[in-house]
Structure 1
Amino acid sequence: MRYIIIGAGAVGGTIGGRLHQHGHRVVLVARGAHLAALRADGLRLAAPDGVATLPVPAVGGPEELELHPDDVLVLAVKTQHSAALLDAWAARPVAGGGTAGERLPLLCAQNGVENERLALRRFRHVYGVCVWLPSTHLEPGRVAAAGSPLSGILHIGRYPAGRDAVAERIAADLTASRFDAPVSDDVMRWKYAKLLSNLANALEAVGGPVRGALRLALAERAVAEGEKVLAAAGIDHPDRAEQQAVRGDRVTLLPIEGEERGGGSSWQSLARGAGDIEADHLNGEIVLLGRLHGVPAPLNDALRRLANSFAREGRAPGGLPEADLAALLEG
């Protein structure tokens, strides 16, 4: 198999880098300064055990590659960028006939629960990946993966449900590349659990690290809203005890020399000045489900709107005044 990583940021760069390190064929897909750095100097993968410079091939898009039947596409971008990329890649021809959308497996290694639905409109063979992978991408050409002894846990399964030989083979490759990669018959169950944990992403992005009584109370309320909404929608997910039993001590965050770990994926979007953020597909998913099932989610709606405002205005992460944070708790 050749793994084509569409979006070589924190998650995609770590997955692609680890696969490359362990002997698998990998192509990274990136853009702008990140692509230029990857082409010039390779991927610099920083981890607790050191920094490796990896000569992974990098391209700017599907027009630069000839696709083959043994290719695996791994989508690892934020949800707001998924549709355009799925359109571009699904239409590409595959050697021997047919298109990528008809013939190639596509993995959604992303937060949220919308990407798989978007992909299934365009691809016949879609797989969900629940990503528990502490990683950072703030500098062109460099990603940092702080997990040890494994870099992360990647549940994988067919979408909407089930498993097959392709999932098993991909999981085996990931397992041999410093990941725990359980194959699940219901991968979306795990992705809804991850959605709940991601509801604090917007809070961290606008209000700073989620610690201290005020921020912890806000995070707990956002998750409580989410749990109530999922219950009303009849959506099952692993509770915290089941999640912890799976994680165990497989992935422990350790310091990386020369690397200061900032925040999660939404925080990183603001820190990079990306101009957009994934809150519409995290907190916004809870707001949407709440409206469909008659359960209000006011805090998640407020966090969604604040995160989008910060992204549009190019504001630095963590800049929301303490009084405004307190007002969210009182609202």
Structure 2
Amino acid sequence: MRYVIIGAGAVGGTIGVRLAQAGHDVTLVARGAQLDALRSRGLTLATPEGEQTVNLPAVAGPAELVLTPDTALVLTVKSQDTQTALGEWAGVPVADGGTAADRLPLLTAQNGVANERAALRRFERVYPVCLWLPATFLEPGVIAAEGHPHSGMLQLGGYPSGADDTVRQIADELAKSGFVTRVRDDVMRWKYGKLLANLGNGADALFGRNPDPELVDRLRAEGVTALAAAGIAHTSREEEAADRADNVKAHPVAGRERGGSSTWQSLARGTGSTETDYLNGEIVLLGRLHGVPTPVNAAVQRAVRRAVRERIPAGGFPRAELLP
């Protein structure tokens, strides 16, 4: 299988490099300084074992490459950028006829649970990927993949449910590239479990590493209540921990401690947006739809928006201003 990684940041870059090291044809899609760095210096993946630089084809968009029927598209952009990416790639022609949306598998290797529904409006075959993949964007062209002894653990399946030979082949190729993989008929149940775990990302971004455990517990409790009201199943912490076991542990890379969650990284880098509307905002949405109060998640959602708007640095939000 050939792979096009749409969004060569921390997650996409790690997946792309590992696949390429296993002998697969990989093209990275990036923009701005990241694209310039990939083209001029390659992509350096720093791991607990050392650093490796890989030179891979890097493009700004679909106009710069030819899609073939054996290509898989791997969507790794943040959730707030999903609609733009889907619009850009859905209508791209495939070499022997048809379009990407009609012919090619699309993997949604992203946090949140809204991407799959958005993708299925355009793409016929959508495969959710639930990620446990600790990685950090250090600077253009340099990514820290902190996972050890494996780079990450990936749960894959079909959407809305089930699995087929395509996802099994992809899971096998990812497993041979250094990831622990599981093919799940109920992969969205795992993604909803990961959503609950990600509800603390906003607090991490606002207040720095190790935010108040009581706040994180309140965020999760609201999430569990909202999912129950909506009739949505999810994995438990215990189930996730038992499955992950010692397969992936976050280790320091080149003496650097992991800076924070993906939301923390967006705020620290000043990207101008975060995925909070698709994490805490998903719980707020479900609460509004099903008559369940979610004041703490709503407060974190508002606070992260303010931090982006006012350029409050990661970890620098005034704690007293979060909740009345």
TM-score by length of 1: 0.96
The C-alpha deviation readout for 1:214-251, integer Å capped at 9, x for no partner, is x1110010001000111111111111111111000000
User: For residues 260 and 162 of structure 1, what CA distance do their matches in structure 2 show?
Assistant: 38
Tell me which amino acid in the other structure corresponds to 1:308.
R
User: For residues 260 and 238 of structure 1, what CA distance do their matches in structure 2 show?
Assistant: 29
Q: Does 1:19 align with 2:19?
A: yes
Give the superposed CA RMSD.
1.0
Q: Shift of the alpha carbon at 1:288?
A: 0.3
Equivalent residue number for residue 278 of structure 1:
275
Residues 73-112 of structure 1 mapped to structure 2, 5 A cutoff: 73-112=73-112
The answer to which of 313-322 and 97-106 deviates more is: 313-322
User: For residues 243 and 260 of structure 1, what CA distance do their matches in structure 2 show?
Assistant: 24
Q: Does 1:63 align with 2:63?
A: yes
Matching residue within 212, 215, 222 for 1:225: 222
Q: Shift of the alpha carbon at 1:309?
A: 1.2
Q: Does 1:255 align with 2:252?
A: yes
Tell me which amino acid in the other structure corresponds to 1:29.
V
User: For residues 118 and 108 of structure 1, what CA distance do their matches in structure 2 show?
Assistant: 10
Q: Does 1:132 align with 2:132?
A: yes
User: For residues 165 and 214 of structure 2, what CA distance do their matches in structure 1 show?
Assistant: 44
Q: Shift of the alpha carbon at 1:258?
A: 4.6
Question: Segments of 4+ in structure 1 off by > 4 A?
Answer: none
Contact 2:154/2:179, CA 8 A, preserved across alignment: yes
The C-alpha deviation readout for 1:197-219, integer Å capped at 9, x for no partner, is 000011011111124xxx11100
Secondary structure, counterpart of 1:14 in structure 2: helix
Q: Shift of the alpha carbon at 1:21?
A: 1.1
Q: Shift of the alpha carbon at 1:35?
A: 0.3
Equivalent residue number for residue 4 of structure 1:
4
Equivalent residue number for residue 210 of structure 1:
210
Q: Does 1:194 align with 2:191?
A: no
Equivalent residue number for residue 264 of structure 1:
261
Aligned pair count reads 324
Q: Does 1:312 align with 2:312?
A: no
Contact 2:138/2:144, CA 8 A, preserved across alignment: no
> Which ranges of structure 1 fall in alignment gaps of 5 or more residues?
none
Matching residue within 229, 235, 250 for 1:238: 235
Q: Shift of the alpha carbon at 1:324?
A: 3.0
> Which ranges of structure 2 fall in alignment gaps of 5 or more residues?
none
Secondary structure, counterpart of 2:203 in structure 1: helix
State, as a whole percentage, how many aligned pairs show the same letter. Answer: 59
The C-alpha deviation readout for 1:242-285, integer Å capped at 9, x for no partner, is 11110000001111115342011000001111001111100000
User: For residues 103 and 210 of structure 1, what CA distance do their matches in structure 2 show?
Assistant: 44
The C-alpha deviation readout for 1:5-59, integer Å capped at 9, x for no partner, is 0001011011111111111111000000000000001110010000100011111
User: For residues 32 and 271 of structure 1, what CA distance do their matches in structure 2 show?
Assistant: 17
Equivalent residue number for residue 287 of structure 2:
290
User: For residues 24 and 171 of structure 2, what CA distance do their matches in structure 1 show?
Assistant: 13
Matching residue within 298, 302, 305 for 2:299: 302
Equivalent residue number for residue 155 of structure 2:
155
